[in-house]
Amino acid sequence: MKALHEIKPAAANATPLDVERIRRDFPILRQRVHGKPLVYLDNAATAQKPQAVIDAIQRYYSEENSNIHRGVHTLSEKATEAYEGARSKVKEFLGASSARETIFVRGSTEGINLVAQSYGRAFLREGDEIVISAMEHHSNIVPWQMLCGQVGARLRVVPINHDGEMLIDEYARLLGPKTRFVSVAHVSNALGTVNPVKQIVEMAHAHNAPVLVDGAQAAPHMKVDVRELGCDFYVFSGHKLYGPTGIGVLYGREGLLEAMPPYQGGGDMISLVTFEKTHYNSLPYKFEAGTPHIAGGIGLGAAIDYINGVGIDRVAAYEQELLAYATRSLLAIDRLRIIGTAREKASVLSFVLDGVHAHDIGTILDREGVAIRAGHHCAMPVMQRFGVPATARASFACYNNREEIDTLVRAIGKVSEVFK
């Protein structure tokens, strides 16, 4: 039987995305910055929130606020229902088999740390190898380095080519009997590269190594189906998906999560506590110690409803078109070079201007109302790979339009005027 989410996109694709209507859903987009209309192109850092998400959070605090999973009173029941309802939405959104496989965390970073510390410390030993790629965000490097230091494992890094694509042959060479874990980005935050995750997973599984996919930059831009990808763990952050900050999701295969020890101890993650022994709660609560970010979970649920309403496949198609338009427009600018030219890309355009540091670009663009990110994008090894100290990065969401790209191009023109 086909799940609902597999049927929906075909219908959604029939009509193109109405970007002007979508823009009206995001109140922040109405504001002016330095007297100019805000052009928000820093979506890879965090996305803006639709009114529906803001309303859901406000409604929770003004009408339902209460602690979950323990109160017998009406408000607690309402809050629990809303929070667990959000979990079910996440489960559908990711195509997970069960809501027990979707754990609420603070964000992608915490999800990766949870797996590194829980799975990693329980199952990795001295001499084991963990494979990551050269395009990872610091959050998919440092937790594994910490684990390596704790258990004596070794970090192996798959190199990337000059377009910013992972070298699959090199990856194949790195995989072997010592490989005990693979962790890769679905989409690179600094380059926009979409990795061939399904293939990466199949190759790792041939060596019995589980795979974590960092979906922070993918989940807002394309249909994610964890069973289709075949991955063992998948993480994403709510705030990049039009939801609130401080909430994210770790998906894990039930069998693996069952075998893993808890990450943190506390309330809600136990079923029975005595001073002699504690019995842990069942999934997903075993990994959710303490009062969670209830409003965040509910807000994320509202964000998923919003995306489902627009249609994620329609978002993906629209953003691809916008990225192609932006790429063409920027390539026409003198002295500009795009960093990250993979065949498969999503919503990220990193660039450098000869003789101008990214920070200066960022400041001048800001005065034109254009918000971009300038810096190393928490991916310093990527910057080293391309021999640049920093890049300017424009990143897109479903509410961006062609006029905003034109404004970006004009603003870069101002940079060239200042730095003649």
Partner 1 sequence: MSELSDLYQEVILDHNRSPRNFKKLEDADRKADGYNPLCGDQITVYVKLENGVIGEVSFQGSGCAISKASASMMTASLKGKTVEEADAMFDRVHKMLTGGSSPAVDAEELGKLAALSGVSNFPARVKCATLSWHTLRSALKGERVASTE
Nearest approach, Cβ of 363 to partner 1 (angstroms)? Answer: 6
CB of 191 to partner 1, least distance (A): 16
Residue closer to partner 1 by CB (options 268, 360) is 360
Nearer to partner 1, 12 or 353 (CB): 353
Q: How far is the CB of 353 from partner 1 (least distance, A)?
A: 12
Cα 308 to the center of its chain, rounded Å: 17
Q: What HEC string does the chain produce?
A: CCCHHHHHHHHHHCCCCCHHHHHHCCHHHHCEECCEECEECECCCCCCCCHHHHHHHHHHHHHHCCCCCCCCCHHHHHHHHHHHHHHHHHHHHHCCCCHHHEEEECCHHHHHHHHHHHHHHHHCCCCCEEEEECCCCHHHCHHHHHHHHHHCCEEEEECECCCCCECHHHHHHHCCCCEEEEEEECECCCCCEECCHHHHHHHHHCCCCCEEEECCCCCCCCCCCHHHHCCCEEEEEHHHHCCCCCCEEEEECHHHHHHCCCCCCCCCCEEEECCCCEEECCCCHHHCCCCCCHHHHHHHHHHHHHHHHHCHHHHHHHHHHHHHHHHHHHHCCCCEEEECCCCCECCEEEEEECCECHHHHHHHHHHCCEECEEECCCCHHHHHHHCCCCEEEEECCCCCCHHHHHHHHHHHHHHHHHCC
Least distance in angstroms from the C-beta of 17 to partner 1: 34
- Select 97 or 363, whichever has its Cβ closest to partner 1: 363
Give whichever of 36 and 121 is closer to partner 1, judged by the CB atom: 36
Q: Which of 148, 231, 378, 398 is catalytic?
A: 378
State which residue, 9 or 375, has the beta carbon closest to partner 1. 375
In the chain, what is the greatest distance between 2 CA atoms, to the nearest angstrom?
Answer: 73
Find the shortest distance in angstroms from Cβ 377 to partner 1: 10
CB 46, min distance to partner 1, A: 16
Q: How far is CA 193 from CA 129, 133, 134, 187, in A?
A: 24, 12, 12, 5
Could you confirm whether 378 is annotated as catalytic? yes
Among residues 245, 355, 257, 263, the alpha carbon closest in space to that of 300 is found at 245
Q: Give CA–CA dist 408/42, Å, rounded.
A: 12
Nearer to partner 1, 231 or 378 (CB): 378
Beta carbon of residue 172, minimum distance to partner 1 (angstroms, whole number): 32
What is the binding site for partner 1 (CB under 8 A)?
356-360, 363-364, 367, 374-376, 380, 383, 389-390, 418-419
Q: Least CB distance from residue 110 to partner 1, whole Å?
A: 21
User: Which amino acid type is present at position 282?
Assistant: S
Give whichever of 5 and 414 is closer to partner 1, judged by the CB atom: 414
Q: How far is the C-alpha of 251 from the C-alpha of 210, rounded, in Å?
A: 13
254 or 360, CB closer to partner 1?
360
Question: So which residues are the catalytic ones?
Answer: 378
